[in-house]
A and B are shown apart, each in its own frame.
Chain A
């Protein structure tokens, strides 16, 4: 029977799992609208995109746009390779590597993280025989950065460490500072805040030994990060000081992404100070900046949580949907998965058991696309929802799986946290079954 529309779920079922069709997949998702026939359904607010509908005309447009985008991407990829070969035949091997890094950066900014990592890897191998280590130092940092974005902390940390060592060996102070900042960033994502702070402070000391407290990009980025970490460790006065210094710099030097990060950290700080109107003002300033959709998605997620705190539930849902739109626009399946994890947590915080839809969706993306950290975090958060509704057995299985993933990723703080939660769940299960609880095991065993 002919039809004019279908759900995203039905349409994605028609798409073979071919990399070149990934753009079409995202375009179809982007063209979907809420099903008006389900508007009455109280659970519609929690429906993930696969329950939305897409018209046949919209699918035609999606195919056309995806094809054009893919052609443009392939053209830029091949265009980006031309100078690589030119430099090679002119005997400038180091320039070949530099061109590859530039190409990788383009892919990375477009959300093609795995492709970017492959390109950086090729660039790195090209630089290994070179006596001038500057490109190798940069390639290692880029490998570190993209690995961090993919949640591969062990690899990210190793590349940043190697980059820092090389930079130190050749007396590249600025290179060492940036690499140490990267090591700190990896540790932040691992939840090892004290260790991260130590690396940031060491990097700051290196800078100060060389040039005093002179403002610089590297110093302001460190202040952004130290402002964040101080606030997370509840040292709010210190955080205020670091962020003020960073903001003064970003107001004189154009770096919209760094400025947005600074504003967002300020917003987080104001939330901790219970100055919610000020927090909202900082978020709104960030929204006006030209930042990648992935950052806009993070912003919308934070704003949704803030609205939730203020009791503005419909606004929270609006921001939740906005985060979904930004995630789709980012063209990055990773960002989409991260957004669903965030929406699942918002639903969980509201006590909405229907939030499991979001966690399931995040898990599906993480597993299909191979994002182990996203999978581990989602499993951990999902387990808390399962535990809350009495599904202790499932909760335990989820936490065990997340612990194993965190272990593989080298995220020691998360492993310890998972062990603690596991002990609690086991004790709760034992109490439910009327059996004496098993002895507590040491965290990290």
Chain B
């Protein structure tokens, strides 16, 4: 089955209900509009970590204006930490969670802004404690690139979240990367 057929057939719209929170500074020029997330199928989400207790997501989107001095946005256990000098102008950073009946059980978020290159990598954090991958051998963060790509992760000092650095924003999630197995290829 090709990806396109599969995704047309099973596509499940995420990120349906959106409310905004966090602080904003209307006096400054925004660099980013509200993020729009990819549509992920149920099978796309199947390998992702789940919250042990499904969170009550009433507010699905947080945003914060962060400038060249850096800053941090925290939302429902997810976080963005922007180092000084990562952006040259005040930029709207956002974290958007799925709120549909199935997507919200997964440790999954869309980080924004999209298509804004960072001069320095930005840290993102996703919940770990209280999720299905807590205590597993290889918990990690993945990003969606027509498939989940492992970007690696480390535990935060308090053991609550997984964190990694990135130079671009997209949809990120967590999973247990164990089971990759020994690499073998055929032919060639």
- The chain A residues found within 8 Å of chain B, CB to CB, are 141, 144-145, 148, 160, 178-179, 181-185, 188-189, 193-194, 217-218, 220-222, 224-225, 228, 230, 232-238, 241, 258, 261-262, 264-265, 267-268, 271-273, 295, 298-299, 301-302, 305, 308-309, 342, 349, 417, 420-421, 423-424, 431, 439-443
Contacts and interface: CB of A to CB of B under 8 A. Distances in A.
Given A194-B146, A272-B179, 8 more contacts: A224-B186, A233-B147, A234-B142, A237-B1, A295-B184, A420-B152, A440-B165, A443-B121
Given A194-B145, A237-B43, A443-B121, A271 B1 contact: no
A237 B181 CA distance: 18
Interface string B109-145: 0000000000111010000000000000110001001
A440 B142 contact: no
Given A233-B148, A261-B184, A440-B120, A305 B178 contact: yes
A440 B186 contact: no
B16 interface: no
Nearest to A350: B137
A33 B118 CA distance: 57
Contact of A421 (B152, B179, B180): B152
B6 A264 contact: no
B187 A218 contact: yes
B175 interface: yes
Contacts of B151: 417, 420
A82 to B, nearest CB: 30
A343 B165 CA distance: 29
A435 to B, nearest CB: 15
B137 A349 contact: yes
Contacts of B175: 234
Contacts of B165: 420, 423-424, 440, 443
B185 to A, nearest CB: 4
Contact of B138 (A224, A299, A349): A349
Nearest to B118: A442
B6 A238 contact: yes
Interface size range on B against A: 35 or more
B44 interface: yes
A185 B178 contact: no
Nearest to B84: A439
By secondary structure, the B interface counts as: loop
Interface string B1-40: 1110010000000000000000000000000000000000
5 contacts: A184-B185, A423-B165, A439-B84, A440-B165, A442-B121
B121 A440 contact: yes
A286 to B, nearest CB: 10
Contacts of B184: 228, 261, 264-265, 295, 298
B47 interface: yes
Interface string B145-179: 11111011010010000001101000000010011
A237 B84 CA distance: 42
B181 A264 contact: yes
Contacts, number: 144
Contacts of A222: 186-187
Contacts of B167: 442-443
A280 B187 CA distance: 25
A79 B75 CA distance: 71
Contact of A185 (B1, B85, B138, B188): B188
Contacts of A442: 119-121, 167
A189 B148 CA distance: 17
Contacts of B138: 349
A268 B187 contact: no
Interface string B70-97: 0000000000000111100000000000
Contacts of B58: none
A160 B121 contact: no
Contact of A268 (B83, B123, B181): B181
Contacts of A141: 188
Given A423-B165, A424-B154, A440-B83, A236 B121 contact: no
Given A230-B147, A234-B175, A237-B1, A225 B185 contact: yes
Q: Which 4 A-B pairs have the closest CB atoms?
A: A233-B147, A182-B188, A221-B187, A271-B179
Nearest to A188: B185
B188 A234 contact: no
Contact of B47 (A218, A236, A308): A236
A349 B85 CA distance: 37
A145 B137 CA distance: 32
A108 B139 CA distance: 37
Contacts of B137: 308-309, 349
Contacts of B148: 233-234
Contacts of B43: 235-237
A139 to B, nearest CB: 14
B60 to A, nearest CB: 24
B1 A241 contact: yes
Contacts of A441: 120-121
A55 B188 CA distance: 44
Which residue, of A230, A258, A262, A439, has the highest number of chain B Cβ atoms within 10 A? Answer: A439
Contacts of B47: 234, 236, 272
Given A233-B147, A302-B182, A439 B83 contact: yes
Nearest to B1: A241
A261 B83 contact: no
A388 B146 CA distance: 33
A178 B182 contact: no
B56 interface: no
Contacts of A423: 121, 165
Residue of B1, B83, B165, B184 contacting most chain A CB atoms (<10 Å): B184
